[in-house]
Amino acid sequence: MKSSYHPQRMEIIVRVVFVLTLVNFGFVNGQIYDVLKFGAKGDGTTDNSKAFVEAWKAMCSSGGNNKTLLIPSDNTFLLQPLVFQGPCNSPSVKVQLEGKIVAPLNKAAWSDLKSCEWVSFNKIIGLTVFGSGTINGRGSSFWKANTPASKHPTQLHFQGCNNLEIYGITSFDSPRNHISINDCRQVKITQIKLIAPGDSPNTDGIDISASTDVEIYDTMVGTGDDCVALNSGSINISITRMQCGPGHGISVGSLGKDGEESIVENVQVTNCTFNETDNGARIKTWPNGKGYARNIVFKDIILTETKNPIIIDQQYIDKGRIDVEESSAVAISNVTFVDFRGTSRQDEIIKIDCSEVTSCKDIILDRIDITTIDGKKPIVECINAYGNSTNAYDGCLKPTHKPNL
Ligand SMILES: *[C@@H]1O[C@H](CO)[C@@H](O)[C@H](O)[C@H]1NC(C)=O
Ligand SMILES: *[C@@H]1O[C@H](CO)[C@@H](O)[C@H](O)[C@H]1NC(C)=O
Ligand SMILES: *[C@@H]1O[C@H](CO)[C@@H](O)[C@H](O)[C@H]1NC(C)=O
Ligand SMILES: *[C@@H]1O[C@H](CO)[C@@H](O)[C@H](O)[C@H]1NC(C)=O
Ligand SMILES: *[C@@H]1O[C@H](CO)[C@@H](O)[C@H](O)[C@H]1NC(C)=O
Ligand SMILES: *[C@@H]1O[C@H](CO)[C@@H](O)[C@H](O)[C@H]1NC(C)=O
C-alpha cells in the first residue's frame, strides 16, 4: 500500500485542533463544563437538551480525570428526553446538579413520547451524580392519562453504569418511577429525596434490576408506589436507614411474571422506617415463574400505621388478569424478619402466603412487636411456609424438618 501525504488535509486538521483549543479555553473553566457555556438557557421554557448533550460530549470525550458537568444553581432548565451516552475517555466523570431541571409542562408538550426514559445515563463508568439541585418530572398529566404505565417515562435511568454514585439530589413528581438502575455494578446511593403524592400511580422510588453490589443509605422516599423494588437479577443489595412513606414499602419483586426466570439474592434491609405505607417488608411473585429469591434479611424496622407490615405473596396477580393453574413458582428461602416494632392499620400483621408447588423454606420471624391501631389482637397467617417463628407467632410457620418417626 502506498502511503500518501495531503498538505491540505493536514492544514484542515491543524485548524480544527486550533479551534477546539479555543473552544476549550473559552467554554471550559478548568475541569468544569458549565451547561450555560454550551448554550443552555436557564429560563425554564427553552429546551436545553441539545446544549446539555453538547456539554456532555465535550466532557466525555476529553481525557483526564475529575471532569464535572455543571448544572448551575439559580437556573431552571427545561429538558426533553435525552441520553448521556458513554463510555467516556476518562475513568470517572461527575454531573453536578445545583439548579433545577424540569420536564415539559404536560404530556402533550413532550417531543418524544415513545421514549420510556426522560433523562438517561448509558454505559458510563465511574459516574457520580450529585448536588443540592432538583429534578421535577411534572408527572401529573401522565398519572391522569388513560395510557399504560409502561408508556410513561422513567425520570432518571441508569443503564450499564458501573461504579455509580448518586447523592444529594431531590427528585419530584416522576411520570413513572424516579430512578431505575439496570445492569450496573458497584452502586452507592445516599442522601437523596424522592417525592411524589401518595396517590400518584407507579411512581416507584428506586427500581433495581440485573445489578449487583448496590448500597442505599440515609435516604427519604415518599411516593405513590414502592419505595424500592428489587426486580430480577438484584444481587448483593443493602438498604439502610431509609425513611419510606407514603408508598408501598420495600419490595422484592414482583418476580416471575409470564413464566419468567427471576433471581434475587443477598438482600439486607436494615434500620428503615415505614410511615403510613401500604406494605412494610414485602416479597411478591407471580404464579408459574421460575428461579429463586433467597438470603434476604429485613431487620430493625419501625412501622407507623402500615397496612401490611410483613407480607410474602406468591399469588401476586395484577388487576385484570385471570387466575391460572399453578405449575411452578419462584422458590423463596432463607428470609428473615427480625426486630420489627410499631403499629399496623390492619389486624393481619403477618401474611406469609406461599406457593403450593415450592413452599417457602427457612423463613424466620423473630422479635416481632407490632400492635394494631384498633387495639385488636394481631392476626398472623402462614400458608405453605416452613421455618422458625418465636414470641406470639410461634407455630405459624411449620418446622422445616419433620421429626423422624
Ligand atoms: C476536582 O475538581 C473540583 C472542582 O473543580 C476541585 O474542587 C477538586 O479539588 C478536584 N479534585 C482533584 C482530586 O483534582
Ligand atoms: C456478592 O457479594 C459476595 C461477597 O462480597 C461476593 O463474593 C459475590 O461475588 C457477589 N456476587 C456478585 C454476583 O457480584
Ligand atoms: C440499626 O439500629 C440498631 C438499633 O438501633 C443499631 O444498633 C445499629 O447500629 C443500626 N445499624 C445501622 C447500620 O444503622
Ligand atoms: C408520618 O407522616 C405524617 C404525615 O404524613 C407525619 O405527620 C408524622 O409525623 C409521621 N410520623 C413519623 C413517626 O414519622
Ligand atoms: C441465609 O441468608 C443470610 C443473609 O443473607 C446469609 O448470611 C446466610 O449465609 C444464608 N444461609 C444459607 C444457609 O445460605
Ligand atoms: C430453628 O430453631 C431451632 C431450635 O431453636 C434451631 O435448631 C434451628 O437452627 C432454627 N432454624 C433456623 C432456620 O433458624
pTM over 0.85: yes
Give the span between the Cα atoms of 333 and 361, in whole angstroms: 5
Q: Which domain holds residue 286?
A: 226-405
pLDDT band at 403 (very low <50, low <70, confident <90, very high): low
pLDDT tens-digit profile of 214-252?
999 999 999 999 999 999 999 999 999 999 999 999 999
Using DSSP's 3-state secondary structure scheme, residue 246 falls into coil
- In this structure, is residue 83 part of a structural domain? yes
The pLDDT, as a whole number, for residue 399 is: 87
Rounded mean pLDDT, 13-19: 54
Give, in order, the Cα–Cα distances in Å from 182 to each of 111, 204, 386: 25, 15, 33
Do 188 and 117 lie in a common domain? Answer: yes
The pLDDT, as a whole number, for residue 326 is: 84
Q: Whose CA is nearest to atom 6 of ligand 5?
A: 295
Question: Which ligand gives the minimal distance to the CA of 185?
Answer: 2
Give the span between the Cα atoms of 71 and 96, in whole angstroms: 6
Strand partners, 255: 285
| Mean confidence (pLDDT) of the chain | 91
Using DSSP's 3-state secondary structure scheme, residue 57 falls into helix
The pLDDT, as a whole number, for residue 139 is: 97
Question: Which ligand gives the minimal distance to the CA of 66?
Answer: 1
- In this structure, is residue 274 part of a structural domain? yes
Do 205 and 230 lie in a common domain? Answer: no
Angle (CA) 336-263-200 rounded to 5° is 80
Q: Which atom of ligand 5 is nearest to the CA of 266?
A: 5
Give the span between the Cα atoms of 228 and 239, in whole angstroms: 9
Do 137 and 250 lie in a common domain? Answer: no
Do 375 and 244 lie in a common domain? Answer: yes
- In this structure, is residue 22 part of a structural domain? no
Give the span between the Cα atoms of 197 and 175, in whole angstroms: 12
Do 50 and 199 lie in a common domain? Answer: yes
Rounded mean pLDDT, 5-24: 56
Domain boundary among 183, 213, 243: 213
C-beta separation of 351 from 323 below 8 A: no
- Looking only at the bridges linking them, the beta strands covering 308-313 and 76-78 are unpaired
SS3 content of the chain, % helix, strand, coil (to 5): 15, 50, 40
Q: Whose CA is nearest to atom 8 of ligand 5?
A: 295
State whether the beta carbon of 300 lies less than 6 angstroms from ligand 3.
yes
Q: Which residue has the cell 454514585?
A: 165
Give the span between the Cα atoms of 48 and 55, in whole angstroms: 11
Helix (H) / strand (E) containing 311: strand 308-313
* Domain CATH code at residue 338: 2.160.20.10
The pLDDT, as a whole number, for residue 323 is: 66
- In this structure, is residue 21 part of a structural domain? no
- In this structure, is residue 7 part of a structural domain? no
Do 238 and 303 lie in a common domain? Answer: yes
pLDDT band at 2 (very low <50, low <70, confident <90, very high): very low
Query: Dihedral, CA atoms, 175, 176, 182, 187, nearest 10 degrees?
Result: 80
C-beta separation of 231 from 206 below 8 A: no
Q: Which atom of ligand 5 is nearest to the CA of 267?
A: 5
State whether the beta carbon of 235 lies less than 6 angstroms from ligand 2.
yes
Domain boundary among 167, 183, 213: 213
Do 233 and 355 lie in a common domain? Answer: yes
Helix (H) / strand (E) containing 181: strand 179-182
Catalytic residues: 248
Q: Which atom of ligand 1 is nearest to the CA of 31?
A: 5
Domain boundary among 181, 213, 245: 213
pLDDT band at 369 (very low <50, low <70, confident <90, very high): very high
Q: Whose CA is nearest to atom 14 of ligand 1?
A: 66
Do 234 and 359 lie in a common domain? Answer: yes
Q: Which atom of ligand 3 is nearest to the CA of 271?
A: 1
Question: Which ligand gives the minimal distance to the CA of 273?
Answer: 4
C-beta separation of 228 from 242 below 8 A: yes
State whether the beta carbon of 92 lies less than 6 angstroms from ligand 1.
no
Give the span between the Cα atoms of 241 and 25, in whole angstroms: 44
CA 24 – ligand 6 centroid, Å: 65
Please choose from 294, 295, 336, 338 the residue to mutate so as to test ligand 5's pocket, defined by most ligand atoms within 8 A of CB: 295
Do 173 and 142 lie in a common domain? Answer: yes
- In this structure, is residue 107 part of a structural domain? yes
- In this structure, is residue 12 part of a structural domain? no
Give how many domains the chain has, as a whole number.
Answer: 2
Angle between helices 7-27 and 49-61 (to 10 degrees): 110
Do 270 and 395 lie in a common domain? Answer: yes
pLDDT band at 29 (very low <50, low <70, confident <90, very high): low
**Joined grid coordinates for residue 248:** 408501598
Do 245 and 350 lie in a common domain? Answer: yes
List strand residue ranges (DSSP E) for 223-255, in order: 228-230, 234-244, 250-255
Q: Whose CA is nearest to atom 9 of ligand 3?
A: 271
Do 236 and 165 lie in a common domain? Answer: no
- In this structure, is residue 102 part of a structural domain? yes
Measured over the CA atoms of residue 196, residue 320, residue 149 and residue 213, the dihedral's sign is positive
pLDDT tens-digit profile of 188-222?
999 999 999 999 999 999 999 999 999 999 999 99
CA 237 – ligand 5 centroid, Å: 13
CA 181 – ligand 1 centroid, Å: 27
Measured over the CA atoms of residue 225, residue 293, residue 268 and residue 340, the dihedral's sign is positive
Q: Whose CA is nearest to atom 1 of ligand 2?
A: 236
